[in-house]
Amino acid sequence: MNISPGLRPLFVLAALVPPLLAIQPSWVDARAKDAKTQSAHLVRHRPPPTTPQVTMNAWTVGLAGGLIEGAPIRFAAEMARVIDDGDNLHVLPVVTRGPTENVNSLLYLRGIDAAIINSDVLDEYKSQVPDIQRRLTYVLNLFPSELHIFVRPEIQSLNDLVGKKVNFNTQGTAAAYSGPLIFSRLGLDVEQTFIPHQVALEQMRKGEMAAVVFITSKPVDAFVRGSWDPGFKFLPVSYDSKLEDYYLPATLEATDYPGLIKQGEHVATISVPTALVAYNWPANSNRFERVARFVDHLFSRIDKLQAPGFDPKWKSINLAATVPGLARFPAAQAWLDAHSRPTQASQ
């Protein structure tokens, strides 16, 4: 068939229409699938909406302190005052059964990332939890808890306590754990009781109890504010090789207890180091990052805690001091490595 030159382009265009119609649906479907895929991708990576619950929990660090009347919970509360940083860091001090129980809290209680403990408690946990030294790390050597052995007038020496009633406060407290352990090392076989010290002190006044044992940061309110008859006193404890693995030498001064110790005199005793420890969370985990931020805020603001208005013991804290038997929390060691300035306050 002869096609005139003027109609030839129209004929070619008509011939191409069917193939184009056949291709168009698949091309459109492909474009539509690409659009859905991109849309799904965008939706999948869209951050979830922020809620108060998410915000409050994102950077909260649970800090196990101790009994409401003890020094550890006071230190925990003071740390929270200085370290707290709104949504960036929320430090939650927790009242617990005491520094000894705090190891249990750190190991097993949900929401607890750090705790204040007495160093000699690790001696017991080595048998209960063989890998305890891998599970816990220390952040800071906080302060000493002094041993107070308060006795009736007729008691003149430690040996006079043998066979007599001595109270070590309620179970779970520092005195209830460390007291019997120290007495055992000193070879003192006494009748141990574990009742609240307020009750035991009243029994002492009546002659029903020979002594009470406090292990806490001095001064103790019961001895500062209480009125005692002449002869009630603190017994001295000598520091020797039986005690040097976990304990340090210490003294009770007249400035601590002016009603019980004469001016210019002092009573030799020992102290139990108290440490701030953290669970050894895996590096780069969310809980690790929380404690790392906690450490950075604490170390960077230690000078605020050493200012007036806080416990005077903060002034003697050395950030670089070690805790026997434990490794330092990695973020704490990294902070010390990065800051070469002196870390101990001037005396």
pLDDT digits (tens, 9 = 90+) for 256-311: 999 999 999 999 999 998 899 999 999 989 999 999 999 999 999 999 999 999 99
Rounded to an integer, what is the distance from CA 343 to the centroid of its chain? 20
Residue 26 lies in a domain: no
- How far, in Å, CA of 220 to CA of 202, rounded? 16
CATH number of the domain within which 92 lies: 3.40.190.10
Is the pLDDT at 9 greater than 60? The verdict is no
Is the pLDDT at 203 greater than 90? The verdict is yes
Is the pLDDT at 6 greater than 80? The verdict is no
Q: pLDDT category, 334, cuts 50, 70, 90?
A: very high
Residues 248 and 203 placed together within one structural domain of the fold: yes
Residue 198 lies in a domain: yes
Residues 165 and 187 placed together within one structural domain of the fold: yes
Residues 198 and 114 placed together within one structural domain of the fold: no
Residues 304 and 288 placed together within one structural domain of the fold: yes
Q: pLDDT tens across 227-268, in order?
A: 899 999 999 999 999 898 888 899 999 999 999 999 999 999
Please give the tally of structural domains in the chain: 2
Quick one: pLDDT at residue 166?
A: 98
Residues 148 and 100 placed together within one structural domain of the fold: no
Residue 22 lies in a domain: no
198-221: average pLDDT: 95
Residues 293 and 226 placed together within one structural domain of the fold: no
Strand pairing class (136-151; 233-234): antiparallel
Residues 69 and 96 placed together within one structural domain of the fold: yes
Residues 69 and 114 placed together within one structural domain of the fold: yes
Residues 206 and 317 placed together within one structural domain of the fold: no
Residues 267 and 159 placed together within one structural domain of the fold: yes
pTM of the shown model: 0.67
Residue 168 lies in a domain: yes
Comparing 112 with 55, the larger pLDDT belongs to 112
* Residues contacting 267, CB < 8 A, separation 6+: 234, 235, 236, 251, 252, 261
- Name the domain boundary from 254, 273, 292: 273
- Name the domain boundary from 273, 307, 322: 273
Quick one: pLDDT at residue 127?
A: 78
Quick one: pLDDT at residue 197?
A: 95
Domain span at 94 = 58-142+274-338
Residue 134 lies in a domain: yes
Residue 35 lies in a domain: no
Is the pLDDT at 347 greater than 50? The verdict is no
Residues 118 and 65 placed together within one structural domain of the fold: yes
- Name the domain boundary from 273, 298, 323: 273
Residues 261 and 315 placed together within one structural domain of the fold: no
